Structure 1
Protein backbone atom coordinates (compact mmCIF):
# COMPACT_ATOMS: atom_id res chain seq x y z
CA UNK A 1 0.00 0.00 0.00
CA UNK A 2 1.09 3.57 -0.53
CA UNK A 3 2.34 5.34 2.55
CA UNK A 4 -0.50 7.82 2.76
CA UNK A 5 -2.62 8.23 5.88
CA UNK A 6 -5.96 9.94 5.50
CA UNK A 7 -7.53 11.44 8.60
CA UNK A 8 -11.25 11.81 9.20
CA UNK A 9 -11.61 15.06 7.28
CA UNK A 10 -13.48 16.81 4.53
CA UNK A 11 -10.49 16.22 2.28
CA UNK A 12 -10.67 12.43 2.51
CA UNK A 13 -14.45 12.36 2.17
CA UNK A 14 -14.38 14.64 -0.87
CA UNK A 15 -11.81 12.34 -2.48
CA UNK A 16 -14.20 9.43 -2.15
CA UNK A 17 -17.09 11.54 -3.44
CA UNK A 18 -15.04 12.50 -6.49
CA UNK A 19 -14.34 8.85 -7.29
CA UNK A 20 -17.98 7.84 -6.94
CA UNK A 21 -19.10 10.96 -8.76
CA UNK A 22 -17.65 9.73 -12.03
CA UNK A 23 -20.54 7.26 -12.15
CA UNK A 24 -23.32 9.25 -10.46
CA UNK A 25 -25.17 12.51 -11.10
CA UNK A 26 -24.85 15.38 -8.57
CA UNK A 27 -28.40 14.73 -7.31
CA UNK A 28 -27.71 11.02 -6.89
CA UNK A 29 -24.49 11.77 -5.00
CA UNK A 30 -26.35 14.09 -2.62
CA UNK A 31 -29.08 11.50 -1.93
CA UNK A 32 -26.53 8.70 -1.58
CA UNK A 33 -24.32 10.66 0.79
CA UNK A 34 -27.30 11.93 2.76
CA UNK A 35 -28.60 8.41 3.40
CA UNK A 36 -25.19 7.23 4.60
CA UNK A 37 -24.63 10.26 6.80
CA UNK A 38 -28.06 9.83 8.38
CA UNK A 39 -27.43 6.12 8.98
CA UNK A 40 -24.10 6.72 10.72
CA UNK A 41 -25.73 9.39 12.89
CA UNK A 42 -28.88 7.33 13.59
CA UNK A 43 -30.11 7.73 17.17
CA UNK A 44 -30.57 3.98 17.68
CA UNK A 45 -26.90 3.11 17.15
CA UNK A 46 -25.28 1.86 20.37
CA UNK A 47 -22.63 4.03 22.03
CA UNK A 48 -20.15 1.16 21.75
CA UNK A 49 -20.53 1.24 17.96
CA UNK A 50 -20.20 5.02 17.82
CA UNK A 51 -16.94 4.85 19.76
CA UNK A 52 -15.43 2.80 16.92
CA UNK A 53 -16.39 5.22 14.17
CA UNK A 54 -13.30 7.41 14.46
CA UNK A 55 -11.04 4.50 13.47
CA UNK A 56 -13.42 2.63 11.16
CA UNK A 57 -14.65 5.68 9.20
CA UNK A 58 -17.94 4.06 8.14
CA UNK A 59 -19.22 7.13 6.31
CA UNK A 60 -16.26 7.22 3.93
CA UNK A 61 -16.15 3.42 3.60
CA UNK A 62 -19.82 3.05 2.67
CA UNK A 63 -19.73 5.97 0.27
CA UNK A 64 -16.81 4.25 -1.45
CA UNK A 65 -18.69 0.92 -1.41
CA UNK A 66 -21.66 2.52 -3.16
CA UNK A 67 -24.39 1.30 -0.79
CA UNK A 68 -27.73 3.00 -1.50
CA UNK A 69 -31.36 2.87 -0.30
CA UNK A 70 -33.31 -0.14 -1.59
CA UNK A 71 -30.28 -2.37 -2.07
CA UNK A 72 -29.76 -5.93 -0.88
CA UNK A 73 -26.42 -6.13 0.95
CA UNK A 74 -24.63 -9.23 2.21
CA UNK A 75 -22.49 -8.57 5.30
CA UNK A 76 -20.08 -11.51 5.38
CA UNK A 77 -19.10 -12.75 8.84
CA UNK A 78 -20.93 -9.80 10.31
CA UNK A 79 -20.01 -10.64 13.91
CA UNK A 80 -21.88 -8.43 16.36
CA UNK A 81 -23.41 -6.36 13.57
CA UNK A 82 -21.52 -3.06 13.62
CA UNK A 83 -21.82 -2.67 9.86
CA UNK A 84 -25.10 -4.57 9.58
CA UNK A 85 -26.84 -1.90 11.64
CA UNK A 86 -25.52 1.02 9.58
CA UNK A 87 -26.36 -0.84 6.37
CA UNK A 88 -29.87 -1.49 7.68
CA UNK A 89 -30.51 2.22 8.13
CA UNK A 90 -29.10 3.01 4.66
CA UNK A 91 -31.05 0.45 2.61
CA UNK A 92 -34.27 1.17 4.48
CA UNK A 93 -37.60 -0.63 4.29
CA UNK A 94 -37.24 -1.24 0.55
CA UNK A 95 -33.87 -2.96 1.01
CA UNK A 96 -32.46 -5.87 2.97
CA UNK A 97 -29.27 -6.74 4.83
CA UNK A 98 -28.18 -10.37 5.10
CA UNK A 99 -26.07 -10.65 8.26
CA UNK A 100 -23.99 -13.76 7.61
CA UNK A 101 -21.92 -15.63 10.17
CA UNK A 102 -20.12 -18.72 8.96
CA UNK A 103 -18.31 -21.67 10.47
CA UNK A 104 -16.04 -19.99 13.00
CA UNK A 105 -17.92 -16.76 13.63
CA UNK A 106 -21.17 -18.55 14.45
CA UNK A 107 -19.34 -20.66 17.06
CA UNK A 108 -18.78 -17.45 19.00
CA UNK A 109 -21.90 -15.48 18.06
CA UNK A 110 -24.51 -18.16 18.85
CA UNK A 111 -23.71 -17.77 22.55
CA UNK A 112 -24.84 -14.13 22.58
CA UNK A 113 -26.96 -13.26 19.55
CA UNK A 114 -27.00 -9.43 19.39
CA UNK A 115 -30.38 -8.01 20.43
CA UNK A 116 -30.25 -5.60 17.50
CA UNK A 117 -31.00 -8.57 15.21
CA UNK A 118 -33.92 -9.86 17.25
CA UNK A 119 -35.51 -6.67 18.57
CA UNK A 120 -34.85 -3.66 16.32
CA UNK A 121 -33.58 -4.21 12.79
CA UNK A 122 -36.53 -5.71 10.92
CA UNK A 123 -34.84 -5.53 7.50
CA UNK A 124 -31.84 -7.57 8.66
CA UNK A 125 -31.96 -11.29 7.90
CA UNK A 126 -29.48 -13.35 9.96
CA UNK A 127 -27.78 -16.13 7.98
CA UNK A 128 -25.96 -18.41 10.40
CA UNK A 129 -24.48 -21.42 8.64
CA UNK A 130 -21.83 -24.07 9.09
CA UNK A 131 -20.19 -23.16 5.81
CA UNK A 132 -18.33 -20.13 4.52
CA UNK A 133 -19.86 -20.62 1.07
CA UNK A 134 -23.14 -18.72 0.81
CA UNK A 135 -26.22 -20.37 -0.66
CA UNK A 136 -28.20 -17.40 -1.97
CA UNK A 137 -30.23 -16.98 -5.15
CA UNK A 138 -28.17 -16.17 -8.21
CA UNK A 139 -27.88 -12.47 -9.08
CA UNK A 140 -29.75 -11.42 -5.92
CA UNK A 141 -27.27 -9.18 -4.07
CA UNK A 142 -26.16 -5.64 -4.93
CA UNK A 143 -23.16 -5.32 -2.60
CA UNK A 144 -21.16 -7.83 -0.58
CA UNK A 145 -19.12 -6.48 2.34
CA UNK A 146 -16.22 -8.37 3.94
CA UNK A 147 -14.88 -6.18 6.74
CA UNK A 148 -11.85 -7.41 8.71
CA UNK A 149 -12.98 -10.97 8.05
CA UNK A 150 -11.21 -12.27 4.93
CA UNK A 151 -8.15 -13.32 6.95
CA UNK A 152 -10.40 -15.47 9.14
CA UNK A 153 -10.95 -17.88 6.27
CA UNK A 154 -7.47 -19.09 7.25
CA UNK A 155 -7.91 -18.97 11.03
CA UNK A 156 -7.39 -22.37 12.63
CA UNK A 157 -10.28 -23.32 14.90
CA UNK A 158 -11.78 -26.61 16.06
CA UNK A 159 -15.08 -25.78 14.35
CA UNK A 160 -13.34 -25.77 10.98
CA UNK A 161 -12.73 -29.39 10.10
CA UNK A 162 -10.60 -28.69 7.03
CA UNK A 163 -9.03 -25.70 5.25
CA UNK A 164 -11.59 -23.55 3.47
CA UNK A 165 -12.17 -24.27 -0.20
CA UNK A 166 -11.57 -20.67 -1.25
CA UNK A 167 -12.47 -21.15 -4.93
CA UNK A 168 -15.85 -22.52 -3.78
CA UNK A 169 -16.38 -19.70 -1.26
CA UNK A 170 -15.57 -17.00 -3.81
CA UNK A 171 -17.63 -18.72 -6.50
CA UNK A 172 -20.66 -18.62 -4.19
CA UNK A 173 -20.16 -14.89 -3.60
CA UNK A 174 -19.77 -14.27 -7.33
CA UNK A 175 -22.93 -16.24 -8.07
CA UNK A 176 -24.99 -14.29 -5.53
CA UNK A 177 -23.99 -10.87 -6.90
CA UNK A 178 -25.97 -9.12 -9.58
CA UNK A 179 -24.07 -8.25 -12.77
CA UNK A 180 -22.19 -5.05 -11.99
CA UNK A 181 -22.51 -5.71 -8.25
CA UNK A 182 -19.65 -4.93 -5.88
CA UNK A 183 -17.59 -7.08 -3.51
CA UNK A 184 -15.81 -4.82 -1.02
CA UNK A 185 -12.95 -6.31 1.01
CA UNK A 186 -11.37 -4.50 3.96
CA UNK A 187 -8.71 -6.15 6.07
CA UNK A 188 -5.54 -5.67 8.07
CA UNK A 189 -2.62 -5.42 5.64
CA UNK A 190 0.21 -7.96 5.92
CA UNK A 191 3.71 -7.84 4.46
CA UNK A 192 4.15 -8.41 0.73
CA UNK A 193 4.97 -12.00 -0.09
CA UNK A 194 3.00 -13.49 2.79
CA UNK A 195 0.08 -15.84 2.27
CA UNK A 196 -2.64 -17.61 4.19
CA UNK A 197 -0.39 -18.41 7.16
CA UNK A 198 -0.55 -14.87 8.55
CA UNK A 199 -4.34 -15.07 8.62
CA UNK A 200 -3.94 -17.43 11.56
CA UNK A 201 -0.76 -16.12 13.18
CA UNK A 202 -1.28 -12.35 12.85
CA UNK A 203 -4.98 -11.97 11.96
CA UNK A 204 -3.87 -10.15 8.82
CA UNK A 205 -3.78 -10.87 5.08
CA UNK A 206 -1.78 -9.34 2.26
CA UNK A 207 -3.80 -7.32 -0.25
CA UNK A 208 -2.01 -8.82 -3.26
CA UNK A 209 -2.76 -12.32 -1.97
CA UNK A 210 -6.45 -11.36 -1.74
CA UNK A 211 -6.44 -9.78 -5.20
CA UNK A 212 -4.98 -12.91 -6.76
CA UNK A 213 -7.64 -15.12 -5.20
CA UNK A 214 -10.57 -12.85 -5.99
CA UNK A 215 -9.48 -12.11 -9.55
CA UNK A 216 -9.08 -15.85 -10.16
CA UNK A 217 -12.76 -16.21 -9.20
CA UNK A 218 -13.79 -13.97 -12.09
CA UNK A 219 -14.04 -10.59 -10.39
CA UNK A 220 -12.46 -7.38 -11.67
CA UNK A 221 -10.90 -4.61 -9.60
CA UNK A 222 -13.05 -1.50 -9.72
CA UNK A 223 -11.07 0.75 -7.38
CA UNK A 224 -9.02 0.94 -4.20
CA UNK A 225 -8.98 3.45 -1.35
CA UNK A 226 -6.42 4.48 1.25
CA UNK A 227 -8.95 5.93 3.70
CA UNK A 228 -7.93 3.33 6.30
CA UNK A 229 -4.20 3.28 5.53
CA UNK A 230 -1.65 3.75 8.31
CA UNK A 231 2.01 4.00 7.24
CA UNK A 232 3.11 3.81 10.89
CA UNK A 233 1.97 0.18 11.07
CA UNK A 234 4.78 -2.24 10.21
CA UNK A 235 2.26 -4.87 9.03
CA UNK A 236 4.20 -7.45 11.08
CA UNK A 237 2.45 -7.40 14.47
CA UNK A 238 -0.76 -9.16 15.37
CA UNK A 239 -3.78 -7.00 14.59
CA UNK A 240 -4.65 -7.42 18.28
CA UNK A 241 -1.29 -6.14 19.57
CA UNK A 242 -1.88 -3.15 21.89
CA UNK A 243 0.40 -0.95 19.77
CA UNK A 244 -1.82 -1.26 16.68
CA UNK A 245 -5.21 -2.57 17.75
CA UNK A 246 -7.92 -0.37 16.27
CA UNK A 247 -5.46 1.55 14.11
CA UNK A 248 -3.88 -1.02 11.81
CA UNK A 249 -2.96 -0.35 8.21
CA UNK A 250 -6.05 -1.57 6.35
CA UNK A 251 -6.60 -2.02 2.63
CA UNK A 252 -9.95 -1.24 1.01
CA UNK A 253 -10.64 -2.84 -2.37
CA UNK A 254 -13.83 -2.81 -4.43
CA UNK A 255 -14.19 -5.71 -6.87
CA UNK A 256 -17.04 -5.98 -9.37
CA UNK A 257 -18.81 -8.80 -11.16
Structure 2
Protein backbone atom coordinates (compact mmCIF):
# COMPACT_ATOMS: atom_id res chain seq x y z
CA UNK A 1 0.00 0.00 0.00
CA UNK A 2 2.84 2.38 0.84
CA UNK A 3 4.31 1.77 -2.60
CA UNK A 4 0.99 2.62 -4.20
CA UNK A 5 0.71 5.80 -2.13
CA UNK A 6 4.25 6.78 -3.04
CA UNK A 7 3.58 6.17 -6.75
CA UNK A 8 0.38 8.18 -6.58
CA UNK A 9 2.17 11.06 -4.87
CA UNK A 10 4.99 10.90 -7.42
CA UNK A 11 2.48 10.95 -10.26
CA UNK A 12 0.85 13.99 -8.70
CA UNK A 13 4.16 15.83 -8.55
CA UNK A 14 4.93 14.97 -12.19
CA UNK A 15 1.47 16.16 -13.22
CA UNK A 16 1.94 19.40 -11.30
CA UNK A 17 5.29 20.03 -12.97
CA UNK A 18 3.82 19.30 -16.40
CA UNK A 19 0.89 21.60 -15.66
CA UNK A 20 3.22 24.39 -14.52
CA UNK A 21 5.18 24.05 -17.75
CA UNK A 22 1.98 24.23 -19.77
CA UNK A 23 0.85 27.34 -17.91
CA UNK A 24 4.21 28.97 -18.52
CA UNK A 25 4.00 28.31 -22.26
CA UNK A 26 0.45 29.67 -22.36
CA UNK A 27 1.55 32.74 -20.43
CA UNK A 28 4.12 33.63 -23.10
CA UNK A 29 1.52 33.26 -25.83
CA UNK A 30 -0.98 35.31 -23.86
CA UNK A 31 1.60 38.08 -23.48
CA UNK A 32 2.29 37.99 -27.21
CA UNK A 33 -1.45 38.20 -27.85
CA UNK A 34 -1.89 40.90 -25.18
CA UNK A 35 -3.45 44.34 -25.53
CA UNK A 36 -0.15 46.04 -24.73
CA UNK A 37 1.16 45.12 -28.19
CA UNK A 38 1.28 47.88 -30.80
CA UNK A 39 -0.92 46.77 -33.69
CA UNK A 40 1.74 47.48 -36.32
CA UNK A 41 4.30 45.50 -34.28
CA UNK A 42 2.00 42.52 -33.84
CA UNK A 43 1.44 42.45 -37.60
CA UNK A 44 5.14 41.60 -37.98
CA UNK A 45 4.93 38.45 -35.82
CA UNK A 46 4.73 36.34 -38.98
CA UNK A 47 8.24 37.52 -39.86
CA UNK A 48 9.77 37.75 -36.39
CA UNK A 49 8.22 34.68 -34.72
CA UNK A 50 8.53 35.95 -31.13
CA UNK A 51 7.12 32.89 -29.36
CA UNK A 52 9.34 30.42 -31.20
CA UNK A 53 12.36 32.70 -30.96
CA UNK A 54 12.14 33.29 -27.21
CA UNK A 55 11.53 29.61 -26.54
CA UNK A 56 14.56 28.68 -28.64
CA UNK A 57 16.69 31.20 -26.75
CA UNK A 58 15.52 29.65 -23.47
CA UNK A 59 13.94 32.78 -22.00
CA UNK A 60 11.93 31.96 -18.86
CA UNK A 61 9.72 34.30 -16.78
CA UNK A 62 12.00 34.10 -13.71
CA UNK A 63 15.13 35.23 -15.56
CA UNK A 64 17.10 38.46 -15.47
CA UNK A 65 17.33 39.51 -19.12
CA UNK A 66 19.15 42.36 -20.84
CA UNK A 67 17.68 43.60 -24.12
CA UNK A 68 20.24 45.47 -26.21
CA UNK A 69 19.14 48.70 -27.95
CA UNK A 70 15.40 47.98 -27.86
CA UNK A 71 14.63 50.88 -30.23
CA UNK A 72 10.87 51.39 -30.32
CA UNK A 73 10.33 48.47 -27.97
CA UNK A 74 9.15 45.73 -30.34
CA UNK A 75 10.45 42.93 -28.13
CA UNK A 76 10.13 45.03 -24.96
CA UNK A 77 6.35 44.88 -25.35
CA UNK A 78 6.67 41.12 -24.85
CA UNK A 79 9.63 40.80 -22.50
CA UNK A 80 8.56 43.45 -19.98
CA UNK A 81 5.19 41.92 -18.98
CA UNK A 82 6.55 38.38 -19.33
CA UNK A 83 9.37 39.04 -16.85
CA UNK A 84 7.55 41.52 -14.61
CA UNK A 85 6.40 39.21 -11.81
CA UNK A 86 9.26 36.75 -11.46
CA UNK A 87 12.21 38.15 -13.36
CA UNK A 88 13.82 41.42 -14.36
CA UNK A 89 14.35 43.24 -17.64
CA UNK A 90 17.20 45.64 -18.28
CA UNK A 91 16.59 47.75 -21.38
CA UNK A 92 20.03 48.90 -22.53
CA UNK A 93 19.01 51.76 -24.80
CA UNK A 94 20.90 54.49 -26.65
CA UNK A 95 23.02 56.91 -24.58
CA UNK A 96 21.11 59.93 -23.30
CA UNK A 97 24.08 62.18 -24.09
CA UNK A 98 24.58 60.90 -27.62
CA UNK A 99 25.47 63.35 -30.38
CA UNK A 100 23.01 61.51 -32.64
CA UNK A 101 19.60 63.18 -32.94
CA UNK A 102 18.14 59.83 -33.96
CA UNK A 103 19.45 58.15 -30.79
CA UNK A 104 18.10 60.91 -28.57
CA UNK A 105 14.68 60.88 -30.26
CA UNK A 106 14.49 57.10 -30.04
CA UNK A 107 15.35 57.09 -26.33
CA UNK A 108 12.81 59.86 -25.63
CA UNK A 109 10.06 57.95 -27.43
CA UNK A 110 10.95 54.76 -25.55
CA UNK A 111 10.75 56.55 -22.18
CA UNK A 112 7.37 58.00 -23.13
CA UNK A 113 6.16 54.56 -24.16
CA UNK A 114 7.11 53.11 -20.76
CA UNK A 115 5.55 56.01 -18.85
CA UNK A 116 2.28 55.61 -20.75
CA UNK A 117 1.81 51.96 -19.69
CA UNK A 118 2.98 51.39 -16.14
CA UNK A 119 1.14 48.07 -15.95
CA UNK A 120 3.56 46.65 -18.52
CA UNK A 121 6.77 48.61 -17.94
CA UNK A 122 6.92 49.70 -14.30
CA UNK A 123 9.62 47.16 -13.43
CA UNK A 124 11.85 47.72 -16.47
CA UNK A 125 15.32 48.99 -15.54
CA UNK A 126 16.57 51.44 -18.15
CA UNK A 127 20.34 51.33 -18.71
CA UNK A 128 22.69 52.49 -21.44
CA UNK A 129 24.33 50.60 -24.27
CA UNK A 130 27.61 52.40 -24.90
CA UNK A 131 30.42 49.80 -24.88
CA UNK A 132 32.90 52.31 -26.30
CA UNK A 133 32.54 54.29 -23.06
CA UNK A 134 32.69 51.18 -20.88
CA UNK A 135 29.17 51.67 -19.50
CA UNK A 136 27.58 48.61 -17.88
CA UNK A 137 24.42 47.31 -19.51
CA UNK A 138 23.62 45.54 -16.21
CA UNK A 139 25.56 44.78 -13.02
CA UNK A 140 28.47 42.47 -13.72
CA UNK A 141 27.54 38.78 -13.58
CA UNK A 142 23.86 39.50 -12.88
CA UNK A 143 22.09 38.44 -16.09
CA UNK A 144 20.73 35.05 -17.05
CA UNK A 145 20.40 36.14 -20.67
CA UNK A 146 21.39 38.95 -23.03
CA UNK A 147 19.37 39.26 -26.24
CA UNK A 148 20.00 41.38 -29.31
CA UNK A 149 17.74 41.57 -32.33
CA UNK A 150 19.02 42.84 -35.71
CA UNK A 151 21.74 45.05 -34.24
CA UNK A 152 25.16 43.57 -35.04
CA UNK A 153 25.49 45.38 -38.38
CA UNK A 154 25.07 48.72 -36.58
CA UNK A 155 28.25 48.19 -34.58
CA UNK A 156 30.55 47.36 -37.49
CA UNK A 157 31.26 50.82 -38.89
CA UNK A 158 33.58 51.94 -36.11
CA UNK A 159 36.57 49.64 -35.65
CA UNK A 160 36.52 47.80 -32.35
CA UNK A 161 32.92 48.62 -31.42
CA UNK A 162 31.53 45.21 -32.23
CA UNK A 163 34.19 43.45 -30.12
CA UNK A 164 33.48 45.79 -27.22
CA UNK A 165 29.76 45.08 -27.56
CA UNK A 166 30.21 41.31 -27.25
CA UNK A 167 32.66 41.80 -24.37
CA UNK A 168 30.00 43.83 -22.52
CA UNK A 169 27.48 41.00 -23.00
CA UNK A 170 29.95 38.50 -21.58
CA UNK A 171 30.66 40.73 -18.58
CA UNK A 172 26.97 41.18 -17.71
CA UNK A 173 26.14 37.46 -17.84
CA UNK A 174 26.36 34.94 -15.06
CA UNK A 175 28.49 31.85 -15.72
CA UNK A 176 26.28 29.60 -17.80
CA UNK A 177 24.25 32.57 -19.05
CA UNK A 178 22.72 32.78 -22.53
CA UNK A 179 23.50 35.17 -25.36
CA UNK A 180 20.76 35.22 -28.01
CA UNK A 181 21.46 36.85 -31.38
CA UNK A 182 19.07 37.43 -34.26
CA UNK A 183 20.62 39.16 -37.28
CA UNK A 184 20.09 39.74 -41.00
CA UNK A 185 22.05 36.99 -42.76
CA UNK A 186 24.46 37.68 -45.60
CA UNK A 187 25.57 35.10 -48.14
CA UNK A 188 28.76 33.25 -47.12
CA UNK A 189 31.86 35.05 -48.35
CA UNK A 190 30.37 38.56 -48.21
CA UNK A 191 33.13 41.09 -47.55
CA UNK A 192 33.32 43.26 -44.45
CA UNK A 193 32.55 46.32 -46.54
CA UNK A 194 29.62 44.51 -48.15
CA UNK A 195 28.21 43.64 -44.74
CA UNK A 196 28.53 47.20 -43.48
CA UNK A 197 26.86 48.68 -46.54
CA UNK A 198 24.07 46.12 -46.91
CA UNK A 199 23.13 45.52 -43.27
CA UNK A 200 23.45 41.77 -43.84
CA UNK A 201 26.09 39.91 -41.81
CA UNK A 202 27.47 36.44 -42.42
CA UNK A 203 26.62 33.82 -39.83
CA UNK A 204 30.25 32.72 -39.58
CA UNK A 205 31.30 36.28 -38.73
CA UNK A 206 28.80 36.55 -35.86
CA UNK A 207 29.84 33.16 -34.49
CA UNK A 208 33.52 34.17 -34.58
CA UNK A 209 32.74 37.45 -32.79
CA UNK A 210 30.96 35.61 -29.98
CA UNK A 211 33.67 32.96 -29.69
CA UNK A 212 36.34 35.64 -29.58
CA UNK A 213 34.53 37.16 -26.58
CA UNK A 214 34.56 33.77 -24.84
CA UNK A 215 31.13 32.38 -25.73
CA UNK A 216 30.39 28.85 -26.89
CA UNK A 217 27.90 28.28 -29.71
CA UNK A 218 25.15 26.07 -28.29
CA UNK A 219 22.54 25.92 -31.04
CA UNK A 220 21.28 27.53 -34.24
CA UNK A 221 17.72 27.83 -35.50
CA UNK A 222 16.08 28.58 -38.84
CA UNK A 223 12.92 29.91 -37.20
CA UNK A 224 13.58 33.37 -38.69
CA UNK A 225 14.90 32.18 -42.06
CA UNK A 226 13.43 33.53 -45.29
CA UNK A 227 14.63 31.58 -48.35
CA UNK A 228 12.98 34.14 -50.66
CA UNK A 229 15.44 36.82 -49.56
CA UNK A 230 18.45 36.96 -51.90
CA UNK A 231 20.22 39.55 -49.67
CA UNK A 232 21.43 41.53 -52.69
CA UNK A 233 18.99 44.43 -52.91
CA UNK A 234 19.75 48.00 -54.18
CA UNK A 235 19.42 49.60 -50.73
CA UNK A 236 20.56 46.59 -48.75
CA UNK A 237 18.28 45.11 -46.12
CA UNK A 238 16.42 48.43 -45.93
CA UNK A 239 15.00 47.75 -49.40
CA UNK A 240 12.68 45.16 -47.81
CA UNK A 241 9.81 45.82 -45.42
CA UNK A 242 9.36 47.39 -43.00
CA UNK A 243 11.75 50.12 -44.29
CA UNK A 244 10.97 49.92 -48.05
CA UNK A 245 13.62 52.54 -48.84
CA UNK A 246 12.73 52.51 -52.56
CA UNK A 247 9.19 53.54 -51.62
CA UNK A 248 6.84 52.66 -54.51
CA UNK A 249 9.58 51.37 -56.80
CA UNK A 250 9.10 47.59 -57.11
CA UNK A 251 7.11 47.74 -53.88
CA UNK A 252 4.96 44.72 -54.69
CA UNK A 253 8.09 42.68 -55.38
CA UNK A 254 9.67 43.47 -52.03
CA UNK A 255 6.44 43.02 -50.10
CA UNK A 256 6.16 39.58 -51.67
CA UNK A 257 9.66 38.71 -50.42
CA UNK A 258 8.81 39.89 -46.92
CA UNK A 259 11.32 40.75 -44.20
CA UNK A 260 14.94 39.65 -44.29
CA UNK A 261 16.45 36.20 -43.98
CA UNK A 262 17.80 36.01 -40.41
CA UNK A 263 20.09 33.82 -38.40
CA UNK A 264 19.00 32.89 -34.87
CA UNK A 265 21.86 31.84 -32.61
CA UNK A 266 22.12 30.75 -28.98
CA UNK A 267 25.47 31.05 -27.23
CA UNK A 268 26.48 30.14 -23.69
CA UNK A 269 28.98 31.73 -21.33
CA UNK A 270 31.05 28.84 -19.91
CA UNK A 271 30.40 27.83 -16.32
CA UNK A 272 34.10 28.12 -15.48
Q: Note whether the superposition's TM-score is higher than 0.5.
A: yes
Q: Go from structure 1 to structure 2 and tell me whether the alpha carbon gap of 1:114 and 1:56 turns closer, same or farther (over 3 Å shift).
A: farther
- Alpha-carbon separation, structure 2, partners of 1:211 and 1:130: 22
Does the CA contact (< 8 Å) of 2:71 and 2:110 recur in 1? no
> Against the structure 1 CA distance between its residues 170 and 55, is the aligned structure 2 distance closer, same or farther, given a 3 Å change threshold?
same
State the SS of the aligned residue for 2:237. Answer: coil
CA-CA distance at 1:110 after TM superposition: 3.4
Which protein shows a greater Rg?
2
After superposition, residues 163-174 of structure 1 pair within 5 angstroms as 163-174=159-170
Partner residue of 2:139? 137
- Quote the Cα distance in structure 1 between the aligned partners of 2:260 and 2:229: 6
How many residue pairs match? The answer is 227
Distance 1:98 1:56 in 2: 21
- Output the aligned Cα RMSD: 2.3
C-alpha distance 153-28 of structure 1, shift in aligned 2 (>3 A): farther
**2:42 matched to which residue of 1?**
50
Distance in 2 of aligned mates of 1:253 and 1:31: 26
Point out where structure 2 has 5 or more consecutive residues left out of the alignment.
1-16, 241-253
Of 187, 190, 196, the residue aligned with 1:191 is 187
SS of alignment partner, residue 239 of structure 1: helix
Between the aligned partners of 2:192 and 2:115, the Cα distance in structure 1 is: 35
Query: Within 5 A, what are the aligned runs for 1:56-71?
Result: 56-71=48-63
TM-score (norm 1): 0.80
Matched-pair contact (CA < 8 Å) for 2:131–2:164: no
Deviations 1:125-177 (CA, angstroms, capped at 9, x unpaired): 2223544655132210111111011111124xxxxxx5343333222211111
* TM-score of the two chains, using structure 2 as the length reference: 0.75
Task: Please state how far the C-alpha of 1:73 moved relative to its aligned partner.
Answer: 0.9
Q: Distance in 2 between matches of 1:35 and 1:195?
A: 42
Q: Which runs of 5+ in 1 are unaligned?
A: 1-24, 156-161
What residue in structure 1 maps to residue 69 of structure 2? Answer: 77
Task: Give the direction of change, closer, same or farther, for the CA distance of 1:115–1:240 in structure 2 (3 Å limit).
Answer: same
> By how many angstroms is 1:180 displaced?
1.4
Show the counterpart of 2:224: 228
> Residue by residue, what CA displacement relative to the aligned partner does 1:176-226 show, whole Å, maximum 9, x if unpaired?
111211101001101212244234311111110000111111101111100
